[in-house]
């Protein structure tokens, strides 16, 4: 029985300012200032990312869902959650 289909996603680097993810053909930066859910997260939790759909990312250890568009254009998605 086949398993679920997953698309390529990889965290390639983490710095004190944020982290980079590689999505098949492009690399995107998630600054902690714009994505505060990751600021105090353990490295293991940031590295554990899934890409269930081409335009959707999920961090199960943090229960964080993000659309790829919100990473590419964070100005279109003002934060309303408090950390």
Q: pLDDT tens-digit profile of 57-74? A: 999 999 999 999 999 998
**What pLDDT shows up at residue 5?**
52
Name the token pair of 6.
Answer: 């997953």
Name the token pair of 8.
Answer: 């390529």
Model confidence over 15-38: pLDDT tens digits?
999 999 999 889 999 999 999 999
**Nearby residues of 67 by Cβ (< 8 Å), 6 or more positions away:** 55, 56, 57, 77
CA distance 21 to 17: 14
Phi-psi group of 60: left, alpha or beta (phi > 0 → left; psi -120 to 50 → alpha; rest → beta): alpha
| Residues forming a β-bridge with 59 | 64
**pTM for this entry:** 0.83
């Amino acid at each position: 029985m086949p398993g679920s289909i997953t698309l390529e996603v990889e965290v390639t680097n983490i710095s004190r300012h944020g982290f980079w993810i590689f999505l098949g053909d492009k690399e995107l930066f998630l600054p902690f200032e714009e994505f505060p859910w990751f600021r105090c997260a353990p490295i293991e939790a940031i590295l554990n990312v899934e890409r269930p759909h081409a335009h959707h990312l999920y961090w199960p250890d943090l229960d964080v869902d993000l659309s790829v568009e919100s990473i590419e254009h964070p100005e279109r998605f003002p934060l309303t959650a408090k950390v």
